[in-house]
Amino acid sequence: SVQAHKEEDNPEKKMEVNGPTPMPVPNSYDYDLIVIGGGSGGLAAAKEAAKYDKKVMVLDFVTPTPQGSSWGLGGTCVNVGCIPKKLMHQAALLGQALQDSRKFGWHFTEDVKHNWMTMTESVQNYIGSLNWGYRVTLRDKKVTFENAYGEFIGPHTVKATNKKGVEKLYTAERFIIATGERPRYLGVPGDKEYCISSDDLFSLPYCPGKTLVVGASYVALECAGFLAGLGLDVTVMVRSILLRGFDQDMANKIGEYMKEHGVNFIREFVPIKVEQVKEGTPGILKVTAKSTTGNQIIEGEYNTVLLAIGRDPCTRKIGLDKVGVKINEKTGKIPVNDEEQTNVPYIYAVGDILQDKLELTPVAIQAGRLLVQRLYAGATTKCDYVNVPTTVFTPLEYGACGYSEEAAMEKFGEENIEVYHSHFWPLEWTVPSRDNNKCYAKIICNIRDNERVIGFHVLGPNAGEVTQGFAAAIKCGLTKEQLDSTVGIHPVCAEV
């Protein structure tokens, strides 16, 4: 952890800079606060600071993807993350609902097809309204917004470069770095030329067709899931395990379900080459892959190759070296103390770029808000990163809060934890004869601590809605006894 220095200790220290002339520290600043990055964390912090009558600027800029995709204000969540993902997941769920509805007495034509463009247009229109909404909100709250790429060039000073290359310099008393991340590429021939990432998928102006998804992250599985749900031929190429970092018992169940519902899996292979066989929208790509356990080479042809192998923080080209902000050289993430402060006292960071913190929108928003309240409103509350709930929106949704089974066993010892579990059959699945042994819930309790619930996992419809309340209960110190004595609502999945 990084030791915090009180800002009052070094009010006007001159910093060494890589350049011919050292930059002076300004005596008065253009802004109280400059936020670099207009995503979930950045915007939340900026809007909060404006409440306390601070002069705030937000710099947001999207470097286009190799395929040329770009988007407006709002960051990953709004443009190429949570929002379009959930909407496309919903489109896929509606496809399933169509099937179910016949069993419930509805009838319509036998053959129902999905139109990618109709969906994508609707989704993009909605996102456009959010981008617009943010610009209006910032204006209303008198936060200055510039669609420009921000980078540090010296103490308390950033250079903002817009799309046309026009540069401006701004100074501020404090900074919050909230630049988020971008998808990683494979580093093999053809990856940047021919492959797409989640940055491109949600605005793809043509149906992706037969798709190979490379990766086993939640991004990979969620995308593969909804693409298959829309009727596309989908294959997932996995290097080793699914959903690293998540409860593996649950991860495997998710994979099983997807397999049984039409998603192909190629396990223990990695692509080594991507070539174009035919141009087009989509065209045909040939992927050559090598086994991770031997010398076997396989080839396959797909219309689209979607890379979802991880995300890298946008911290290497924003001039952090010029102001001395330390980053983890290997991962690019920024270590901060429990008050989101970097090693440079007047520079803070929130969101996906933080080391050892969760990459989630609500966490970034919470951290950003609380940080600003501490800076300007005399508050002392720190962001609580413990027992943060999350949901993976795969075809069979997975909601979780707290420890995975393996993490609990490691931390508390197998003999000290009790796992209660149950399969369940949602009532709505009975009539259409859907799987009766796939939905599953388990809670992990600490025997030594009054059987306190330390982990909650549920696999089933509306997992996010189900999990949210349990997360609140876990925050209140829920024990097994209290869980047992709470009456269920009938008939819903959550009562299990």
Partner 1 sequence: GKNEYDLLVIGGGSGGLACAKEAAQFGRKVAVLDYVEPSPQGTAWGLGGTCVNVGCIPKKLMHQAALLGSALKDAQHYGWNISQPVHHTWSVMAQAVQNYVKSLNWGHRVQLQDKKVKYFNVKGSFSDPHTVRGLTKAGKETVITADNIVIATGGRPKYPTDIAGALEYGITSDDLFWLKESPGKTLPSFILYVSLECAGFLTGIGLDTTVMMRSIPLRGFDQASHISNKKQICFTTQQQMASLVTEHMESYGTKFLKRCFPTKVEKLKSNRVQVTWKNADLNTEETDSFDTVMWAVGRAPDTKTLNLETIGVKTNSETGKIIVDASEATSVPHIYAVGDITEGRPELTPPAIAAGKLLAQRLFGQSSELMDYDNVPTTVFTPLEYGCVGLSEEAAMQRHGSDNIEVYHAYYKPLEFTVAERDAAQCYMKMVCLREREQRILGLHFIGPNAGEVIQGFALGIKCGATYPQMMKTVGIHPTCAEEVTKLHITKRSGLDATVTGC
Active site residue 490: yes
216 labelled ligand-binding: yes
| Helix extents (H) in 268-324 | 320-323
The Cα–Cα gap between 18 and 329 comes to 18
Task: Please report whether residue 143 would count as binding partner 1 according to CB under 8 A.
Answer: no
Least Å distance, CB 428 to partner 1, is 5
9 labelled ligand-binding: no
The Cα-based distances of 287 to 221, 247, 389, 401 in angstroms read 19, 31, 37, 38
The Cα–Cα gap between 445 and 450 comes to 9
When the beta carbons of 288 and 479 are compared against partner 1, the nearer one is 479
Please select the residue that binds partner 1; options are 4, 10, 114, 423, rule is CB under 8 A: 114
Task: Please report whether residue 103 would count as binding partner 1 according to CB under 8 A.
Answer: yes
Among 141-149, 211-219, 343-351, 480-488, which window interacts with partner 1 (CB under 8 A)?
Answer: 480-488
Among 9-17, 25-33, 285-293, 355-363, which window interacts with partner 1 (CB under 8 A)?
Answer: 355-363
The Cα–Cα gap between 284 and 265 comes to 20
Backbone angles phi, psi at 77, to 5 degrees: -50, -55
When the beta carbons of 112 and 298 are compared against partner 1, the nearer one is 112
C-beta of residue 360 within 8 angstroms of C-beta of residue 390? yes
Taking each helix axis as running N to C, give the angle between helix 218-229 and helix 248-260, from 0 to 180 degrees, rounded to the nearest 10: 20
Binding to partner 1 in span 319-338, by CB under 8 A: none
Among 30-38, 59-67, 169-177, 428-436, which window interacts with partner 1 (CB under 8 A)?
Answer: 428-436
The Cα-based distances of 394 to 198, 295, 301 in angstroms read 15, 32, 25
Q: Provide the mask over 221-260, with x wherever binding to partner 1 is found by CB under 8 A and - wherever it is not.
A: ---------x------------------------------
Please select the residue that binds partner 1; options are 46, 49, 87, 325, rule is CB under 8 A: 87
Task: Please report whether residue 347 would count as binding partner 1 according to CB under 8 A.
Answer: no
133 labelled ligand-binding: no
86 labelled ligand-binding: yes
Give how far the C-alpha of residue 299 lies from the chain's centroid of Cα atoms, to the nearest Å: 31
Count CB neighbours of 348 within 10 A.
Answer: 27
- How many residues touch partner 1 (CB under 8 A)? 83
Among 13-21, 159-167, 270-278, 469-477, which window interacts with partner 1 (CB under 8 A)?
Answer: 469-477
When the beta carbons of 118 and 240 are compared against partner 1, the nearer one is 118
When the beta carbons of 91 and 408 are compared against partner 1, the nearer one is 91
For every residue of 382-403, DSSP letters joined together read: PP--TT--EEE-SSS-EEEEE-
Please select the residue that binds partner 1; options are 366, 373, 394, 404, rule is CB under 8 A: 366
- In the numeric block, the tokens 């991880």 are attached to 310
- Residue 87 has which token pair? 């909407």
Task: Please report whether residue 109 would count as binding partner 1 according to CB under 8 A.
Answer: yes
Task: Please report whether residue 123 would count as binding partner 1 according to CB under 8 A.
Answer: yes
Please select the residue that binds partner 1; options are 233, 268, 428, 435, rule is CB under 8 A: 428
φ/ψ region of 190 (left if φ > 0, alpha if ψ in -120 to 50, else beta) reads: left
219 labelled ligand-binding: yes
Per DSSP bridges, beta strands 452-459 and 157-162 are: unpaired
The Cα–Cα gap between 46 and 446 comes to 40
Binding to partner 1 in span 21-80, by CB under 8 A: 40, 74, 77-78
Helix, coil or strand: residue 274: strand
C-beta of residue 174 within 8 angstroms of C-beta of residue 346? yes
* Cα four-point dihedral sign 88, 90, 96, 102: negative
Please select the residue that binds partner 1; options are 147, 272, 462, 480, rule is CB under 8 A: 462
352 labelled ligand-binding: yes
Q: Provide the mask over 382-411, with x wherever binding to partner 1 is found by CB under 8 A and - wherever it is not.
A: --x--xxxxx-------x------------
70 labelled ligand-binding: no
Q: Show which residues are catalytic.
A: 490
Annotated binding site for NAD(+): 215-222, 310
